[in-house]
Structures are given as structure tokens and as C-alpha cells.
Amino acid sequence: VTTLMARGAFPDSHPQHLGMPGMHGTVPAVYALQKSDLLVTLGARFDDRVTGKLDSFAPDAKVVHADIDPAEIGKNRHADVPIVGDARHVIDELIAAVTGTAAGADRYQPWWATLNDLRERYPLGYDEPTDGTLAPQYVIERIGELVGPDAIYVAGVGQHQMWASQFIKYERPATWLNSGGAGTMGYAVPAAMGAKVGKPDTQVWAIDGDGCFQMTNQELATCALEGIPVKIAVIN
């Protein structure tokens, strides 16, 4: 399960990937968290968009919570095993700790049968407009299909941000940039410019909402002056 800020950290195409959790997430991801007996949480905050009411979130789960910031450990959800450290090193050590101790894969077949059934019955979807216009989700989905997983996608804050996180398939780390947590409207255009300057040979798409775009569209003058070829889709 990958949160909004972790999209791309684990490939969407992997059979064990269930999608995003929480109020904007997928049914199998939410179900898996709620029914789990152990959550290994790497760098996540247990924010209310994921948990809903904290006292009803994953009520039977023990929590291993790793974060580089000690202030985050146990801030929202009690950590049964608190770990302060860089996720890269924590993952290496967790793998070493469990190697040779995990139960056989056969034990999890009923669990995966349930999750795969939910994945098939409740896929992400959207309603097609009846007036001949294009659904914004369709536009974002087609951008992802045509541009592919090697591009960098940048979103502002709002509904377009959720659609961009849901309907583009992310396969690689650092291909999804957004202002999750801070929620800074106007983030997309300047962040996309910075991404293009940092990776000039990579295609960069800014997916923005009309309100966010009004806040920083003046930066397009800099794009023109500096020759920064950022592609922008404004979703209204």
C-alpha cells in the first residue's frame, strides 16, 4: 500500500501492490489495512485522510513505525515497535531480521484470494459525462497512458491532485511530485519547472487545477525566457 506521498516507491504493476489507502484510496488497500494484524509503516504519518477516526483504524494491528523524524513516531498512532532512522537503512535491517523466519507463502493464499477478489470487484472508476464532454479523470488517465511511466508528473492541490495520484500508473520513485501534507496551492508550475531543470532529458507534466494555476501561472514567463519546456494540463 502506498500513500499519496509514496506513489511510485513501489510499482503499481506489481501483483502485491493494492493502491493508495484512505478516503481517496482503493477498496482492497483500505480493507487490507483494516484487517491486518501487523502494519510495517515506513515514513508515513497516519494522517486523518488515511485513518479516518483513529480509534477505528486497523483496530487489531500491531504497528512497526519507522521515520527519520522522531517527533512523528507515535504522534497519531501508538507504535508497538518504534524505529528512528532513514528508510533505506531500516528496510535493509528489517529484511535481515525476518529472512528465514517468515511463514510459507501457502499460508497467505486465502488472504490474497480475498484481496484479489476485492481488486476485481471494486476497481477505480469514474462516470462518463452524458453531454459529450471529457471526464477529467479520462484526460489524466490518457496523459499517463500516452506519456508513460518514465515521465515526471507534478500536481497542485485539490481534486486534480487526487485524480492524478489515482489514474496515472507510477512505476518508479521520484516520478510523482506533489505538495501532500503542506497542501500548497500553486505548487505545480514552479515545481515542474524545477524538475525540468534538474532532469532536462525527462518529459515533465504539470497537472493543475484552475485555482492553483492562477496562483503561479506568472511563472510561465520565466519558462519562456529561460526556454524551459514544461507541459501543463489545467483540469477544471
Q: Tell me what pLDDT residue 99 has.
A: 85
Q: How many CB atoms lie within 10 A of CB 43?
A: 17
Rounded-to-integer distance, Cα 117 and Cα 17, Å = 14
Q: Tell me what pLDDT residue 235 has.
A: 85
Sequential pLDDT tens for the chain (236 residues): 999 999 999 999 999 999 999 999 999 999 999 999 999 999 999 999 999 999 999 999 999 999 999 999 999 999 999 999 999 999 999 999 888 776 677 888 999 999 999 999 999 999 999 999 999 999 999 999 999 999 999 999 999 999 999 999 999 999 999 998 888 999 999 999 999 999 999 999 999 999 999 999 999 898 888 888 888 888 86
Cα 147 to Cα 66, 71, 143, 144, 198: the distances in Å are 34, 39, 6, 5, 19
Q: Tell me what pLDDT residue 28 has.
A: 97
Rounded-to-integer distance, Cα 6 and Cα 214, Å = 27
41: nearest Cα among 74, 7, 8: 74
Please give the order of strands across the beta sheet that includes 152-155.
176-178, 152-155, 204-209, 231-235
Rounded-to-integer distance, Cα 3 and Cα 19, Å = 8
Q: Tell me what pLDDT residue 233 has.
A: 86
Q: Determine how β-strand 204-209 pairs with β-strand 176-178.
A: unpaired
Q: Tell me what pLDDT residue 62 has.
A: 97
Which backbone phi and psi does 60 adopt, to 5 degrees?
-105, 10
Q: Tell me what pLDDT residue 222 has.
A: 87
220 contacts 228 by C-beta, under 8 angstroms: no
Cα 200 to Cα 43, 94, 123, 164, 192: the distances in Å are 29, 36, 35, 22, 11
